[in-house]
Amino acid sequence: MAKKSGLSAEDVDSLRSQLNEGTTPMVWFTAAAVGMEEGRSAKLLAVTDPPEGDFIQVRPTGSKDEMSFSPAELTLEKPPPRKKPATPPPAPPEPPRQTEIIHPYVPEAPVKPAAPKPKPAPAPVEQAPAKPAARKPSAKNAVPEVTVTLVSVGEGEWTVEVLQGTRKTVRPTPVPPGSVAQAAKLLTPEVAEIVEGVLNAARAQQLARVEQLRAELEAAQKALDDLGA
């Protein structure tokens, strides 16, 4: 299959306009899409603003997951249908075989001796019923391993991503600090303590920034008052 080009800026604007009009356009994955087969289709759900990173949200065909991708991982070019393998020609019929009829020689039946009296059959031995073989767990019913990762990216901002097995089902997505604090309290005390320490450091940083801005605002107001405004 030929390599598909990604979405241009004009393609992204056109898709955003179609969503605003109430339509659900289709896109296809390119070879750059992580964890997706090239040429697989998906429904466009949203185009977030500002357009940074993986800002295009889609739902792959046959899946209920909502996933985010970058323009380089999607395309508007529909792949051509796959060609069916050619059917081999039928084998030529075999020529009919000549059957030779052989008349068997039947000898005269000998005189059978008198049959001996049957001996009494031994009593049947009861056998224990066979135990059913233990069923092995089916691979289809195995629960895949899920990994949820919270990352602090500085200044009190957090992101979360989810791996299902080796497949990334949720890409790094921003999470409010308050939600992170509530989730940490439901986990072990060690996790809650670490998260609270990070949040306290972010609060202190933001408080220092507020104080600096307040001082600059007061200085600017004083300068304005001196000018007789």
Domain boundaries, given as residue ranges, for the chain:
9-75, 146-226
CATH number corresponding to 9-75: 2.30.30
pTM of the complete model: 0.37
| pLDDT recorded at residue 18 | 95
165: left (phi over 0), alpha (psi -120 to 50) or beta: left
The per-residue pLDDT for 122 is 58
- Angstrom distances, CA of residue 70 to CA of 20, 59, 134: 20, 14, 48
Query: What local confidence, expressed as pLDDT, does residue 2 receive?
Result: 46
CB of 40 closer than 8 Å to CB of 61: yes
- The stretches in the chain having pLDDT less than 70 are 1-4, 83-90, 92-142, 229
Pair of tokens at residue 209: 């920034």
Q: Which residues lie across from 87 on neighbouring strands?
A: none
How high is the pLDDT of residue 1?
A: 45
Judge whether 2 and 75 are in contact, CB under 8 Å: no
**How crowded is residue 182: how many other Cβ atoms within 10 Å of its Cβ?**
10
Decide if 160 contacts 144 (C-beta within 8 A). Answer: no
Predicted pLDDT at 62: 92
Instruction: Please compute Rg for the chain using Cα positions.
Output: 38
